[in-house]
Structure 1
């Protein structure tokens, strides 16, 4: 007689959220290449075929994690901010409260520089979307919204890496506010239309 291990049944949305949370933690610890489907399945109380039923593949799992993070960030920032400086400050405050997610993105962003990484295209498109979004927010405030958008993204990314390396010494929010004084000091008030 074979004993069958009972697994708790969760509604599909709740199970998907659990899978994303476990995967996020594991990728932040090990990177995508160090992630095993077995470890994710074990962390969720599933078999690998059960996990695949929900996500389709390891690449599908990665993209689900990335999409979930982007959706959550967008909702959070839209509620908190209206000016370019407020949008950036809201993003930094949000990231300061979720170092595991920021670490996940930093690791994946670096890994995805390799053209054969499953998230290579995702991060290239995400970078362009981020720059386009910042540039759009800055139109009417500066003569070079595209150039300033690149500087803002670079400053945010750089500060986050330093903060992740030494969180006890670096206050991400305070460092951003100091940088924002320089970045936004010369912005013009928005123009009409």
Structure 2
């Protein structure tokens, strides 16, 4: 007689959230190419066919994770930025927010690097995301510099680079302090003069 393993039945929305959470953690640890559908299924108490019922495919699972992260990012970004209005204040708010979510930063850093390969399922997603980020920074800088596009690239590169160093050695690198030092160099000639 074969014993059937009991799997907890969760409402569809709760199950999907569980799948996304487990997948997010696994991709942050292993990257997309190291992600096993069996490991995701095991982490959720499902069979692989049960997992596929919810996400369709491995590519579909990745896109579901990215969509979920985008929705969460919009909410947390609004909270993080608050009343910040200058480019420097907004960048500092972004860095402070990221310093409090290393697993999400790791997820994006790993996927961003992997997706440089044109055949990666998130290649187009990250290309569009980068373009949107650079355009957003350039808009904030348009009245501060004759080269807002160039400065936007430098800001994004500095943020990305500091985050990678911080993820590799969080005990020794203070992301927020390092960003503030870098921002001092980047924004030194861009900040409007203060009264006095």
Contact 1:77 1:87 in 2 (8 A): no
Normalization by structure 2: what TM-score?
0.90
* Structure 2: 5+ residue stretches without partners: none
Aligned residue number for residue 5 of structure 1? 5
2 CA distance for matches of 1:17 and 1:184?
40
How far 1:2 sits from its partner (Å)?
Answer: 4.3
Aligned residue number for residue 106 of structure 2? 103
Normalization by structure 1: what TM-score?
0.91
Task: Give the secondary-structure state (helix, strand or coil) at the position aligned to 2:97.
Answer: helix
Aligned residue number for residue 34 of structure 2? 34
Aligned residue number for residue 134 of structure 1? 137
Instruction: Evaluate the alpha carbon distance shift between residue 13 and residue 141 of structure 1 in structure 2; reply closer, same or farther with a 3 A threshold.
Output: farther
How far 1:108 sits from its partner (Å)?
Answer: 1.2
Aligned runs of 1:1-193 on 2, under 5 Å? 1-81=1-81, 82-83=84-85, 84-189=87-192
Range with greater deviation from structure 2 (73-82 or 43-52): 73-82
Task: Give the secondary-structure state (helix, strand or coil) at the position aligned to 1:3.
Answer: coil
Task: Give the secondary-structure state (helix, strand or coil) at the position aligned to 2:33.
Answer: coil
How far 1:185 sits from its partner (Å)?
Answer: 2.2
Contact 2:80 2:97 in 1 (8 A): no
How far 1:145 sits from its partner (Å)?
Answer: 1.5
* Structure 1: 5+ residue stretches without partners: none
Range with greater deviation from structure 2 (121-130 or 89-98): 89-98
How far 1:73 sits from its partner (Å)?
Answer: 1.9
Contact 1:106 1:161 in 2 (8 A): yes
How far 1:24 sits from its partner (Å)?
Answer: 0.9
Range with greater deviation from structure 2 (170-179 or 78-87): 78-87
2 CA distance for matches of 1:153 and 1:176?
11
Once the two structures are superposed, what CA deviation does each residue of 1:119-175 show, in whole Å capped at 9, x if it has no partner? 111111111111111112222232221111101100000001111111111100110
